[in-house]
A and B are shown apart, each in its own frame.
Chain A
């Protein structure tokens, strides 16, 4: 299931029609390219672009092609484009301007021979057959005309043309914010399981996305609700699957004991880490991170034993970081029972270490921890527990770390760490935009809504916190509760 944002263009302006009625259109400005870019920032990989002028006039004109070309050049989006496509030349022009897929509507029923030729020339995968449905009948020409073709006859025609991707819009639901016609999609999928169905019209929230997924839809095209900013695209994208946002308590350890303090100062003993780990596990933690801040080499030796004890005590994954200087350290920790090792300063000083560990022990076991502090308009990397500032740009380092084989990034904001003022969502979003590995947000959690913000605005895959859990400001269950209320999937 993939959520695809939609932009409808009428005379080079972004608009939304209500139930396909040109008389009832709402204007959302004159910059479709900027809008497309904002969708990319929120995690979109495909854009559904509709040429309303073309759908109305039946002609593909230069101004629209220019919009297609600009979006294609300015973003990484795969474009599926439709509206007013009537000739082979139209298709060819759209593909030349950067369209990945072409959405065919009216022409499917008015000129099936042309569609046959198009499929022969460009391949059936290039095409999506759009069916606009009202009361079980297909409407054509920008919804202005009723074709009198019943929906299922329409589907048969499309299948006979060799097209397996269909986009079904229930006109009565479009732009009305009453929820999608889930029953309709379920019925189509049941009758034609081989078709890949894109649902369009009526999506309001993540729950609608989940309902469509369960109905068997492969795609959900979403327009109005994003433009009116009632829901963020990133929230809808999360509903594409049930992958839970992970809640990760972090335990600082020294000499085999848990310690508590702020910014590594005023440390005091806080008990046996194995017991605390078991308790967090019991309370619903999805994963644990142990950060070894031992001062001496002898103290550090205890961490290997700790890994073995924790592995026997909990049935969730855990990461150990702090003081890992070589492949051998990492290997010993994994063999002792840790699931992942986190490398921080050592990787900044010697980036090849990341590559070596990832190659020899597996990318999935290799976490790169990045401590960052804002400096002007960017962030710099800190080392040695935040005490030393480097020249490295944090975003560039995140990209390099992922390229070198880090399977996950643990990103800590040192501006926010210990403040309880919330995660640095701008830092997280910048990194998420540039890398395709999971990102753990760290530093700044103080209130429950901070967790929702890191997921919604920062697009973090996992949320780490220490003091709020240690000092029992709130529980892991409380965090999961607010995330669930904000429609994010969490493990129950």
Chain B
């Protein structure tokens, strides 16, 4: 059973439907008390970094995530919040992965929206205006070219993150979600 963290209005619906389509059992969780009942967690970030962090801390999620030891997957903003600091609303983030989050340069169309080719060769669906800059290159699992080379995925211990939307990324997305789900037991 995978828990999908809901902390405000957002795309929990589309993640839940995607998991249902892939026959992965999941439920929405809103309270850290519910962590006991799940074997892994997906954190679909939605909205802006500032309000998301404020809401997470209000609901008691910040420490719960930091001390979480089962597989954890942050999507889009959910990946960005794993870092130390985001330029979006000058936000202190969870600080689990070293590095920060910067706005995309002005010479590219923002948001970076649509299907772009990952360094792994597959196309994935992106929607974002900020990008992660991990301090430690080894944590970066994949990149994508958009104005510059952008970190498209991270992994450190039990924490995984992708800047793109596996719930909307065709076969590549399905494979990512199924692989992640196979770690959650």
With the chains together, A313 CA to B10 CA distance in Å? 20
> How distant is A236 from chain B, measured CB to nearest CB, in Å?
14
Provided the pairs A241-B147, A311-B18 are in contact, do residues A286 and B114 lie with their beta carbons within 8 angstroms?
A: yes
B182 contacts the other chain (CB 8 A): no
Interface of A is mostly: loop
Q: How close is A416's CB to chain B, nearest CB, in angstroms?
A: 23
1/0 per position for A391-411, CB-CB distance to B under 8 A? Answer: 000000000000000011000
Residues on A with C-beta less than 8 A from B115 are 243-244, 246, 286, 491
Q: Given A315-B168, A363-B111, A337 and B13 touching (CB < 8 A)?
A: yes
Tell me if A242 and B116 are in contact (CB < 8 A).
yes
Interface membership of chain A positions 139-167, coded 1 if the CB is closer than 8 angstroms to chain B and 0 otherwise? 00000000000000000000000000000
By beta carbon, the residue of chain B nearest A284 is B170
B114 in contact with A461 (CB, 8 Å): yes
In A62-120, the 8 Å CB interface with B consists of: none
- Asked whether A176 is an interface residue with its Cβ less than 8 Å from the other chain, the reply is no
The size bracket of the interface on B is 35 or more
Q: How far is the CA of A436 from the CA of B115 in the complex (A)?
A: 18
Q: Are B114 and A462 in contact (CB under 8 A)?
A: yes
**Do residues B111 and A437 form an inter-chain contact, with CB atoms below 8 A?**
yes
Per-position contact with A for B96-133: 1 when CB-CB < 8 Å, else 0? 00000000001101111111110000010101110000
CB of A436 within 8 A of CB of B109, answer yes
Whether A334 pairs with B9 at a CB distance below 8 angstroms is yes
Check if A438 sits within 8 Å of B116, measured CB to CB. no
CB distance from A174 to the nearest CB of B (A): 25
- Asked whether any CB of chain B lies closer than 8 Å to the CB of A383, the reply is no
When chains A and B are docked, how far (Å) is the Cα of A1 from the Cα of B144?
12
| Measured CA separation A81–B11 after assembly (Å) | 47
Contact B165 A317 (CB under 8 A): yes
Is B59 interfacial (CB 8 A cutoff)?
no
Give the chain B neighbours of A2 by CB distance below 8 A.
107, 147
The residue on A at minimum CB distance from B127 is: A364
| Contacting residues, chain A, for B169 (C-beta < 8 A) | 315-316
Bound-state CA distance A244–B113 (Å) is 10
Check B168–A316 contact: CB distance below 8 A. yes
Query: Please, which residue of chain A has its CB at the minimum distance from the CB of B12?
Result: A335
Please indicate the chain B residues that have their CB under 8 angstroms from the CB of A308 in the complex: 13, 17
| A1: chain B residues within 8 A (beta carbon) | 145, 147
Say yes or no: A334 contacts B109, CB within 8 Å.
no
Which of A227-252 touch B at CB < 8 Å?
240-244, 246
Chain B residues whose CB sits within 8 angstroms of the CB of A241 once the complex forms: 116, 144-147
**Chain B residue with the shortest CB-CB distance to A336:** B13
The CA-CA distance from A213 to B148 in the complex, in Å, is: 10
Partner of B110, one of A45, A240, A286, A437: A437
Asked if B184 lies at the interface with its beta carbon under 8 angstroms from chain A, I say no
Are B173's CB and A361's CB within 8 A?
no
Of A334, A339, A407, A491, the contact of B168 (CB 8 Å cutoff): A339
Q: Which of A331, A363, A491 has a CB less than 8 Å from the CB of B123? A: A491
Shortest Cβ gap from A317 to chain B (Å): 4
Give chain A residues whose Cβ lies under 8 Å from the Cβ of B47: 360-362
Chain B residues with CB below 8 A from A331, complex form: 9
Q: Is A53 an interface residue (CB 8 A)?
A: no
* A317 / chain B contacts, CB cutoff of 8 Å: 125, 127, 165, 168
- Closest Cβ–Cβ distance, residue B80 to chain A (whole Å): 13
Given contacts A362-B46, A365-B46, A436-B110, 11 further A-B contacts (CB under 8 A): A1-B147, A241-B116, A307-B13, A308-B13, A315-B170, A334-B11, A335-B13, A336-B13, A361-B46, A364-B113, A407-B127
Q: Which residues of B contact A (CB under 8 A)?
A: 9-14, 16-18, 20-21, 46-48, 106-107, 109-117, 123, 125, 127-129, 144-147, 165, 167-171, 173-174
Residues of A participating in the B interface, judged by any CB pair closer than 8 Å: 1-2, 45-46, 213, 240-244, 246, 286-287, 307-308, 311-313, 315-317, 331, 334-339, 360-365, 407-408, 436-438, 461-462, 489, 491-492
The 3 A-B pairs at the shortest CB distance, nearest first, are namely A311-B17, A242-B117, A45-B107
Can you report 26 residue pairs joining A to B where beta carbons are below 8 Å apart?
A: A2-B107, A2-B147, A45-B107, A240-B147, A241-B116, A241-B144, A242-B123, A244-B115, A244-B116, A286-B115, A311-B13, A315-B173, A316-B125, A317-B127, A331-B9, A335-B12, A335-B13, A337-B13, A337-B14, A361-B9, A364-B111, A437-B109, A438-B111, A438-B113, A462-B114, A491-B123
